[in-house]
Amino acid sequence: MQKRVIILCYRKIIDARSVKQWDKLVFESTYLEFKMQAQNFSHGTAYTSYAELMRNVPNAQRITGMVTPSVTGYVQQLGSIMPDILNNIGRRFLTFSRFQLEIINSDINDKDKHQVAINFYSEPLIWHDTIDNYLLLSVHSPENQSSAENNSISTNLMQLQPYINISSLQYHN
């Protein structure tokens, strides 16, 4: 039977209204770094917002990559476990190895406008079935092959929810 191997992307939004400790630390750290790096581009212009810089200043698209080192330490603290996303018995279960910072909005002079997203990309998962609003998933790795004895593998049920996307799909025989 063909296997569907997917990668899930969780887009975690962080802004001034974020309440969790990790989120707040990331908010502070990315804002300081945005402010510092954006001034390399706003220098000599009247632009202060991320949108204005992106529209008007050459190479301003580099800002996101320059701000990324301000979150790497926090991402490492997660220990490769994707935050917030739970299986149906209330445990975090998705692992990730890749992330991508995204600046949604910000302003050198206005911290309240600062809003970023961290996109977490899961390890490859086998999508076995869809039950109601839930995906039945298992890790796609050699260690998680069905054992010859009972022909079973470990799976998780995850509810479809906002900010989760299937970011890639591959068919395996």
Partner 1 sequence: MERKNFLKSLVIGAVSSSVLVEACKKDTDTATTTTTTSGSSSSGSTSGSTDSSSCSVVPTETEGPYPTKSPASYVRSDITDGRTGYKLTVNITIKNSNSSCAALSSALVDIWHCDAEGNYSEYGGSGTQSTNYTTVHFLRGRQTTDSNGLVTFTSIFPGWYTGRATHIHVHVYNSSGTSLKVTQIAFPEGTGTALAAVSGYSKGMSGYTYNASDGVFSDGYTLELATVTGSTTAGFVLAISLSVPA
The closest alpha carbon to 35, from 103, 85, 119, belongs to 103
Q: How far is CA 53 from CA 32, 84, 101, 157, 168, in A?
A: 17, 32, 18, 43, 31
Q: How many residues bind partner 1 (CB under 8 A)?
A: 61
Angle 4-137-135 from CA coordinates, rounded to 5°:
90
Q: Which of 99, 113, 137, 140 binds partner 1 (CB under 8 A)?
A: 99
Q: Which of 77, 147, 150, 173 binds partner 1 (CB under 8 A)?
A: 77
User: Contact between 40 and partner 1 (CB under 8 A)?
Assistant: yes
User: Contact between 43 and partner 1 (CB under 8 A)?
Assistant: yes
Q: Which of 1, 46, 58, 91 binds partner 1 (CB under 8 A)?
A: 91
Dist. CA 169–CA 139, nearest whole Å: 14
* Whether the Cβ atoms of residue 80 and residue 97 lie closer than 8 Å to each other: yes
Question: Closer to partner 1 at the Cβ: 40 or 145?
Answer: 40
User: Contact between 172 and partner 1 (CB under 8 A)?
Assistant: no
User: Contact between 148 and partner 1 (CB under 8 A)?
Assistant: no
User: Contact between 3 and partner 1 (CB under 8 A)?
Assistant: no
Place of tokens 């977490």: 120
Q: Which of 106, 107, 121, 126 binds partner 1 (CB under 8 A)?
A: 121
Dist. CA 108–CA 36, nearest whole Å: 8
* Whether the Cβ atoms of residue 111 and residue 16 lie closer than 8 Å to each other: yes
The closest alpha carbon to 38, from 109, 101, 108, 116, belongs to 108
**Using CB under 8 A as the criterion, which residues of the chain lie in contact with partner 1 when the complex forms?**
12-13, 15, 17-23, 25, 29, 32-33, 35-36, 39-40, 43, 59, 61-66, 68-70, 72-79, 81, 83-86, 88-92, 97-100, 119, 121, 130, 159, 161-163, 165-166, 169
